[in-house]
Amino acid sequence: SVLLRAGARATVVPLASRRALVRLGAKKQKSHFEAYTIADRSAAGIFPAPARRDGVRPLKKHLPEGAPLSKAPEGWADRWLPGLQLSHKGMRLLHLCPPVMIIDDFLSHEECAELIALTESDRAFEVQSATFSTLTAAARTSTTWYTRHGAVPTFVGRAVELTGAHPDSLEEPQIVRYATGQRFSWHYDEVPRSLLANGGQRRATLLVYLNDVELGGGTAFRDLGVGVQPKCGRALLFCPSDVDGTPDDRTLHAGEPPLSGAKWIAQFWLHEREYVPGVVPGAQAGDASAAYELYCARRRASMEQPSDGASATAAGAGVAQNI
Ligand SMILES: O=C(O)CCC(=O)C(=O)O
Ligand SMILES: [Fe+2]
C-alpha cells in the first residue's frame, strides 16, 4: 500500500531539475524560477513574488512579514479549516487566500530531536524514494519514514488542538530527511481520485521543520510568492483543498534542497473524513484517537503535579519521553 500511497504524488509537475533549483538566482532565466533568488530572500525567508501560472490568481497578496491571525476577516477560516484555533500562540499568516500560516515553536527542540531519533528505531518504517511511483521518484530524492500515530502522541495532540480536526482524519505521520542537495520538486499535496475513498481529499498539510537549515531547504509556493525557511520547531500549515475537498492549484509547492547539512521535517495530512491508516504494519482505524487520548491524559497528569518537587520532574520527563 506504500506504492498505492505513492500514487498520491501522481500529480507532481516535475518542472524543476535539481540544477534549475540550485541556479534559481540566474536573473536572465525566463522562467518562474528566477524569482526564487536564494540570495534575495528577506530575513523571514520569504521569496519575491514570481510570475503566476495562467488561470491561477491568488485573491489577496501575501504578507511578506506575516500578520497575526487577528488581522484575518471574520469567518475567513471557514472555507478551509472551520475549527482552526485562531488564537494559537505564535501563529502568523503569510498568505490569506489560500491560507499559508507558520507557527514558531510549535514543537520544542527536544520534541523535534525525538522525532528524528524515532527514525533510528523499529517504530519507524523507511521507504526509499526509488520505491515510489516513477514520477514521484524523479521529483523526490529524499528519504521517507512512516510511523504509527501511537508513536507520536504529542504531535497528534498539537495537530488536533491547532486544526480542530477529528484525530482520525489525520493520515499516518511521515518523517522526511533531505541530505544536502536532495529535494522534492514542484507538486500538489492533493490525492488522486483513485485514493479518495479513504478519507476523501487532503484538506490541510501540517509540516514541522525539525532542524535549522542555514542555506536553502525552504518550502516554496511558486504561485503565491511565498517561501518558508526551515527553523527547528516551526510549523507550516496550508490547505491543498477547500473544506469541501476541491483541490486548490494555487498551492503548488516544492521542498528546496538544503545547500549545507541535512533538512528534517515531520508531516501530517488532514483529510475530509476518517482516514484508515494502512501504510505501517499493525496500524488500524482509531489509532489516532487513541494517541490523542494518551496526549490528553498525559497533559492532565502533568497539570495535576505540583509545580515544584521531584514528582513534577518525573511527570515532565514522562511527557518528553514519547512524542
Ligand atoms: O520539504 C518541504 O519543504 C516540502 C515537503 C512537501 O511538500 C511534501 O512532502 O509533500
Ligand atoms: Fe507537499
Pocket test for ligand 1, best of 251, 265, 268, 269 (most atoms within 8 A of CB): 265
pLDDT at 209 over 80: yes
Q: How far, CA to CA in Å, does 135 sit from each of 6, 102, 126?
A: 9, 29, 19
- 321 CA → ligand 2 middle, Å: 29
> pLDDT higher for 83 or 13?
83
- Which helix H or strand E contains 290, and what residues bound it? helix 287-304
Q: Which ligand is nearest to the CA of 265?
A: 1
State the CATH number of the domain containing residue 73: 2.60.120.620
pLDDT at 4 over 50: no
What pLDDT score was predicted for residue 22?
31
From CA 169, how far away is CA 137, in angstroms rounded? 27
- DSSP bridge pairs for 144: 127, 176
Helix axis angle, 109-118 to 153-163, nearest 10°: 120
- What is the pairing mode between strands 263-271 and 202-209? antiparallel
- 78 CA → ligand 2 middle, Å: 22
Q: Whose CA is nearest to atom 5 of ligand 1?
A: 255
- 305 CA → ligand 1 middle, Å: 39
> pLDDT higher for 63 or 294?
294
**Residues 6 or more apart in contact with residue 114 via CB below 8 angstroms:** 320, 322, 323
Q: Which ligand is nearest to the CA of 177?
A: 1
| Chain segment 124-181, per-residue pLDDT in tens | 999 865 555 555 556 778 899 999 999 999 999 999 999 999 999 999 999 999 999 8
Angle at 164 between CA 161 and CA 169, to 5 degrees: 105
Q: Whose CA is nearest to atom 10 of ligand 1?
A: 189
Q: Which ligand is nearest to the CA of 262?
A: 1
Measured from the CA of 253, which atom of ligand 1 is nearest? 7
> Is 147 within 8 Å of 270 (Cβ atoms)?
no
User: Could you tell me which of 28, 299, 270 has the C-alpha nearest to residue 163?
Assistant: 270
Measured from the CA of 263, which atom of ligand 1 is nearest? 1
What pLDDT score was predicted for residue 52?
54
From CA 144, how far away is CA 203, in angstroms rounded? 21
- Which helix H or strand E contains 318, and what residues bound it? helix 310-321
Q: Is 184 in the pocket of ligand 1 (CB under 6 A)?
A: yes
From CA 202, how far away is CA 190, in angstroms rounded? 6
Mean pLDDT of the chain: 78
Measured from the CA of 174, which atom of ligand 1 is nearest? 9
CB atoms within 10 A of CB 13: 15
- DSSP code of residue 293: H
Q: Is 190 in the pocket of ligand 1 (CB under 6 A)?
A: no
Pocket test for ligand 1, best of 145, 182, 219 (most atoms within 8 A of CB): 219
Q: How far, CA to CA in Å, does 209 sit from each of 14, 39, 138, 206, 266?
A: 23, 21, 23, 10, 7
CB atoms within 10 A of CB 245: 17
- DSSP code of residue 11: T
ipTM comes to: 0.99
Backbone angles phi, psi at 67, to 5 degrees: -130, 150
Q: Is 219 in the pocket of ligand 1 (CB under 6 A)?
A: yes
From CA 290, how far away is CA 74, in angstroms rounded? 34
Q: Whose CA is nearest to atom 1 of ligand 1?
A: 255
Measured from the CA of 265, which atom of ligand 1 is nearest? 1
Cell representation of residue 59? 485573491
The number of domains in the chain is 1
- 118 CA → ligand 1 middle, Å: 19
Please, which pLDDT band fits residue 27 given cuts at 50, 70 and 90?
very low
Q: What is the domain extent for residue 269? A: 2-321
Q: Is 189 in the pocket of ligand 1 (CB under 6 A)?
A: yes
Q: Give the ranges where 164-204 is alpha helix by DSSP (H).
A: none
From CA 247, how far away is CA 260, in angstroms rounded? 34
From CA 79, how far away is CA 99, in angstroms rounded? 10
What pLDDT score was predicted for residue 171?
96
